Amino acid sequence: MKRAVYPGSFDPMTYGHLDIIRRAAETFDELTVSVLNNNAKNPLFSVEERVKILKEATKDLPNVNVDSFSGLLIDYAAEKNFHISVRGLRAITDFEYELQIAQTNSKLSKGKLDTIFLTARLEYAYLSSSSVKEIASFGGDISECVPDFVAKMIYQKYNQKFKGEPNEQQN
């Protein structure tokens, strides 16, 4: 059985993440999306909230489950017996950062944890959790970036009004 982990901050999950999740779920028999518990990043959403969002967004995907982890990815992967980590690539700038992480993980795990990259679909290539948060903090429209229920949660965090129309492209 082919299993993989898709680690990330997911603060919050965007349609870009969801697209990678869907495509990875078609490639692997079982995919675990795992939220990094790292308060140093000063996240907008708690780990519990991020896990809840991911669970709701992936509830129609039977071979996807959601978890969280702290510390090094290689230690978590060893504990859960994951040998493949999935990451999305949007642009060449992502590649440099991701290549370094992938090589570090490969070296630290003595080759036991490999990384597979999926390239972001063009319509999501511009998307990042940070830009979604910045747009939302000023009450801008994020309806094409995240599912409606996530947009509402983000606006609430910033005490902003939900301005975007419900997205036709709900996932």
Q: How many residues bind ligand PNS (CB under 6 A)?
A: 9
Asked if 89 interacts with ligand PNS (CB under 6 A), we say no
Say if CB 77 and CB 113 are below 8 A apart. yes
Interface with ligand PNS, residue 9, by CB under 6 A: yes
Show contacts with ligand PNS in window 92-131 (CB under 6 A).
Answer: 101, 104-105
Only one of the segments 7-15, 116-124, 145-153, 156-164 lies at the binding site for ligand PNS (rule: CB under 6 A); that segment is 7-15
> Could you identify the residue written with the tokens 């993980």?
105
Amino acid sitting at position 44:
L
The yes-or-no answer on residue 90 being catalytic is yes
Between residues 6 and 155, which has the closer beta carbon with respect to ligand PNS?
6
Residue 36 binds ligand PNS, judged by CB under 6 A: yes
Using DSSP, how many helices (H) and how many strands (E) does the chain show? Answer: 6, 5
Is there a catalytic annotation at residue 17?
yes
The SS3 assignment for 32 reads strand
d(CA 149, CA 3): 29
Is residue 133 annotated as a catalytic residue, yes or no? no
Burial of residue 81 (number of CB atoms within 10 Å: 0-12, 13-18, 19+): exposed
Q: Which of 37, 61, 67, 72 binds ligand PNS (CB under 6 A)?
A: 72
Q: What beta strand segments (E) does the chain contain?
A: 3-8, 30-36, 64-69, 84-89, 114-119
Q: Which residues belong to the active site?
A: 17, 41, 90, 129
Positions touching ligand PNS (CB under 6 A) are 7-9, 36, 72-73, 101, 104-105
